[in-house]
Amino acid sequence: MNGVLKKVLTYFVLPLIIVALAYAIVTSVMKPVRFKKETEARKAVAVQQMKDIRTLQVAYKTSTGHYAATIDSLIDYYNNGKMSIVMQIGSADDSLAVAHTEAVKKSKRGKITGAELYELYLKGDKNLVFSVENNVSVKDTLFASRSDFDVTALKYIPFSEGDTVIVEAIIKTVSGVPVPLFEAKMPYRSLLKGMDNQLRINLDAEQRKMNRYEGLQLGSISAPNNNAGNWE
């Protein structure tokens, strides 16, 4: 009986134990590898969203003189706002067009605006060289080439099941000059939700050791940084 039991242990049980141990070792080794790979994939999505927030914030500041304190303000600006753009018509290297434009201005005694030149251009005079400032719809200008762009999605941290992007905006006096500043944050606890929590805690600890924010951060309300992201 002992011989039979020994054979069972040798030929059946021990191989299963070895396979189980090998699987456990491989799983243990691969867990941080998979965590890192998924983290990078999620960060890539989040970084694009942060860049879109930056684009809207810069346009918003150009229009208002300050940054938006909430994503809702940016969404409203995108849907209903106007932005000023400078249109360049013709080329300053085209000497004939430049001469023609000067002749048109001379005929009006120099009292002709860019808007009036643009009206002449629309009526058919294509030999004009000038620039004109136009107010255009933000929605028809920013991200117009991206058919899948959804401005409402900017409010939410990807993969977080509804957590919102943390946004702050202030006017800070720097060297006696008022400077508009903003920052947007996506903490890893939200961005990496559903992933291995202990590995996420370890990642946060590593970031703190390096005096870095535990997640993605765009801009800073502490000091001007040209709206840089901490991934750049």
pLDDT value at residue 31: 84
pLDDT digits (tens, 9 = 90+) for 4-35: 656 655 666 667 777 667 666 766 666 889 99
pLDDT digits (tens, 9 = 90+) for 94-112: 899 999 988 988 888 777 8
Confidence of residue 87 (pLDDT cuts 50, 70, 90): confident
Q: State how far the alpha carbon of 141 is from the alpha carbons of 78, 119, 126, 228, in Å.
A: 9, 21, 24, 23
Lowest mean pLDDT across 13-27, 82-96, 117-131, 134-148? 13-27
Looking at residue 214, its amino acid is E
pLDDT value at residue 119: 85
pLDDT digits (tens, 9 = 90+) for 49-68: 999 999 999 999 999 999 99
Cβ neighbour number for residue 179 with a 10 Å cutoff = 12
For 232, how many CA atoms within 13 A lie in the half-sphere containing its CB? 12
pLDDT value at residue 9: 54
* CB-CB contact of 134 with 85 (8 Å): yes
Dihedral, 94, 98, 101, 105 alpha carbons, nearest 10: 170
Structure tokens that stand for 114 in this block: 């860019």
pLDDT value at residue 135: 85
Helix (H) or strand (E) holding 14: helix 14-64
